[in-house]
Amino acid sequence: MVLLETKKVQVGHVDSLFPYVKPDWWKDAFNEMYLRTDGDVVEDPAITDAECTDILGIPSVASLFSGPSQPQAVGETKSTIRVLDLCCGQGRHSINLARKYPSVEFHGIDQSLYLIELAKKLAKEERLSTNMVYYWGRPPNLGC
């Protein structure tokens, strides 16, 4: 079923779903219900830790994080490492990594205001506001 102008219409097999998906569908998709339905995955610290360990196991990433780890405030880090977490959701990966690497600046951005507010709350609870900041909105044009 696909939502077309607030009516449920069954369209069968189509070559592309794009004509049937309303613009900015994500504004309603990534909300509290998203966390409730995917909570077994996204709220499991063991899964998040394993995923972050996998990320850090990539040699080119591991070499970036091999320096000293002294806490610094965002914008005042002596480290040249600044991590941008695009589509960060509730910040589970950036929070995990910010906790382990307090001298690295982490910046998260997501288009879901609900998830960004949750990320900010979780980072504050973890006392990570010094090296972690979240932004709501569309990612800037990064030229890639």
**What pLDDT was estimated at residue 68?**
54
Mean pLDDT by 10 residues, the chain (144 residues): 55 77 71 63 81 91 72 57 89 93 91 88 90 86 55
What's the pTM? 0.68
**What pLDDT was estimated at residue 67?**
61
Residue 114 CA: distances (Å) to CA of 83, 90, 110: 22, 8, 10
**What pLDDT was estimated at residue 56?**
92
**What pLDDT was estimated at residue 97?**
94
- Return the closest-CA partner of residue 55 out of 44, 45, 64: 64
**What pLDDT was estimated at residue 22?**
77
Is 28-136 a domain of CATH 3.40.50.150? yes
